[in-house]
Amino acid sequence: MLRTVTLDHPAPLPVGHTVAVTELEAAVRWKGRVTACTIVMVEGLENPRTTLQVETDA
């Protein structure tokens, strides 16, 4: 399953990198492999945001 995740992390993550994500508001933790990474500047915010596409481990 592919997920798109927006992080408050201003540095790129390499495709194929394994990540572990904990969603605090949902108390969910899952692992997956990065399949795409984009860094975007958001108007009104000081730091860029990293958006990842992650293939989760089933």
Across the chain, how many H-helices and E-strands are there?
0, 4
Tokens of 1: 């399953």
What residues are paired with 7 via a beta bridge? 50
**Residues 34 and 16: beta-carbon distance below 8 Å:** yes
pLDDT tens-place string over residues 35-58: 988 888 878 877 787 888 888 876
Please choose, from the candidates 24, 13, 16, the residue with its C-alpha nearest in 3D space to the C-alpha of residue 50: 13
The residue extents of the domains of the chain are 2-56
Q: How confident is the model at residue 7 (pLDDT cuts 50, 70, 90)?
A: confident
User: Coil, helix or strand for 5?
Assistant: strand
